[in-house]
Structure 1
């Protein structure tokens, strides 16, 4: 299944953005609040309306980049956060980016790509992270859809993709999920080997 730019732009145009919480995800806010190094170069993949980027930027993190294949999603951020640097809104396919980052934030991107690309996702993450770089975020641990996003999965499945490339610091049930995601999320922290 090809999930194209048109597919995602249509979702935004038709306001079919059920994945969008409208606020920063509580587990990510808690994680961000304990980061001390504001110089980290951070990427938010499939960032969408990216309340996470807005929050980080408001807290003095100036090296935050939002990547999305949908131009509409990136325009939404520009409208909401007019002083967010336009050069840090990356309109691109994740699998084609060449830059490197210290930290990649995962929320609803992994579950949005076709499951056949999951190993490729892990490999690409390993290639764009700096030495000892991290992936931090949320993965669904639930049976979801088979023919359209969000695609679910299990911890056991995810470990097969990530263990070859990452030290698994944490991949545990999330205790502070947003109410409509309670019991469905794993909080993950992975460090590049």
Structure 2
């Protein structure tokens, strides 16, 4: 298993506040997407969720079936302590690639860019197995390169080639409502599983 997937690696990053892509709030493009969802009972998965701003926003909006997965024990423990005695969110410490389930919506927010690029094909295949037949994979991807990593970057053309093996891409556009530090560097996408 690559170093960038190890629980120890990510645990230390969270303990040392070394996740430089942490916005400290829900991402505006995802917030806008969530705001137009009417069914509050859909099953939602947020893998590699870190501090889970998106999950907490969904909770505040009345969504009732949210699963948060992160490989780092420290971040999951912290979330459980901050949000005890509520049943709408499950905070689970687990390896995404070993997780099973079926979800109506899977949210991508800086998980993809945290993985070693060699794992991208595996990521897309796993997402397809976790998505319900009529579900959607929705989120943000960096449309830029980084030195070293994580985060690891990429571009729209390479993402389309990768995702089209398993998904019908409904949308993959430049974000118009990114936070200022990410303006011009994010793609918002919506994908559905290929049911061929």
When normalised by structure 2's length, the TM-score is 0.94
Unaligned ranges ≥5, structure 2: none
Conservation of the 8 A alpha-carbon contact between 1:44 and 1:67: yes
2:125 to 123, 126, 129: 123
Specify the alignment match of 1:132 in structure 2. 134
Specify the alignment match of 1:41 in structure 2. 43
2:154 paired with 1:153: yes
Conservation of the 8 A alpha-carbon contact between 1:50 and 1:66: yes
1:13 to 15, 25, 29: 15
Conservation of the 8 A alpha-carbon contact between 1:78 and 1:84: no
Unaligned ranges ≥5, structure 1: none
RMSD: 1.4
The alignment partner of 2:3 has SS state of: coil
Conservation of the 8 A alpha-carbon contact between 1:78 and 1:86: no
Q: Distance in 2 between matches of 1:179 and 1:156?
A: 24
Specify the alignment match of 1:169 in structure 2. 170
Q: Distance in 1 between matches of 2:154 and 2:78?
A: 30
Q: Distance in 2 between matches of 1:87 and 1:168?
A: 28
Q: Distance in 2 between matches of 1:25 and 1:76?
A: 21
Change (3 A) 1:86 1:13: farther
1:28 to 27, 30, 42: 30
1:99: how far off?
Answer: 1.1
Conservation of the 8 A alpha-carbon contact between 2:64 and 2:88: no
Specify the alignment match of 1:182 in structure 2. 183
1:18: how far off?
Answer: 1.2
Number of equivalent positions: 192
1:86: how far off?
Answer: 8.9
Stretches of 4+ aligned residues off by more than 3 angstroms: 83-87
Specify the alignment match of 2:3 in structure 1. 2
Between 1:42-51 and 1:84-93, the stretch displaced more is 84-93
When normalised by structure 1's length, the TM-score is 0.95
